Amino acid sequence: MKIIMLGAPGAGKGTQAIMLADKYGIPHISTGDIFRSNIKMGTELGKKAKEYMDQGLLVPDELTTDLVVDRIHQEDCAKGFILDGFPRTIPQAECLTEALAKEDDQMDYAINVDVKDESIINRMAGRRACPNCGATYHLVSLKPKKEGICDRCGEKLILRDDDKPETVKKRLEVYHEMTQPLIDYYEKEGILLTVDGSRDIEVVFDDITRVLEG
């Protein structure tokens, strides 16, 4: 099963992607997590990506696309994978489509997690993230078992650098301009599934899995 998670920043792409990856035993590939781990390790890619991420802007396509195309060709992706935060521009989507078409392959679903901008601003303020495994929590709607500690790997949770209200506002603007057109792109490809992401995490998850298993 090859799935793309679409949706605004904070819509719940990562939350649902991790649950889907656990349920179906396929890798969760988050470009945001890949960039954050490169920043943490101080790599050249991390240094370049940070300049854009801190401003709420997209990292240029040329730093992003090859990285994902390489990643989906690794052995653990043979049975499928979940892309979270990629593609984010039409050129990225076209590169992905072309890379798969070379092998007579294509994505199965693009799941659009739909949430209004107003709710997103509230969600982001309460988000806490694990800098090690990428799991996300929320101070109200998804508390970790032990306060401030990741359930999955035991790392201390942090507030992401780009979750400041002014950066979130910029990320939303960039989303509407650059990424929202992908909804039409995947609708035309006939693989779009839109879910109302404003409901409880488990309800959204049930909705998605019902369609995937339908």
Structure tokens that stand for 109 in this block: 């679903």
Find the length of the chain: 214
| Pairing verdict, β 127-129 and 2-7 | unpaired
Q: Given phi > 0 = left and psi -120 to 50 = alpha, else beta, which region is 62?
A: alpha
Among 21-29, 37-45, 53-61, 147-155, which window interacts with ligand AP5 (CB under 6 A)?
53-61
Contact call for residue 28 and ligand AP5 (CB under 6 A): no
134: partner contacted, choices ligand AP5, Mg ion, none (Cβ within 5-8 A by kind): none
Q: Which of 4, 85, 109, 193 binds ligand AP5 (CB under 6 A)?
A: 85
Alpha-carbon distances, residue 82 vs 53, 87, 107, 156 (angstroms): 22, 11, 10, 25
Q: Point out the catalytic residue in the list 71, 160, 170, 199.
A: 160
CA distance 124 to 131: 16
Q: Residue numbers of the site for ligand AP5 (CB under 6 A)?
A: 7, 9-15, 30-32, 35, 52-53, 56-59, 64, 85-86, 88, 92, 123, 126-127, 136-138, 141-142, 162, 171, 197, 200-201, 204
Which residues are the active-site residues? Answer: 13, 88, 127, 160, 171
> What residue ranges bind Mg ion (CB under 5 A)?
14
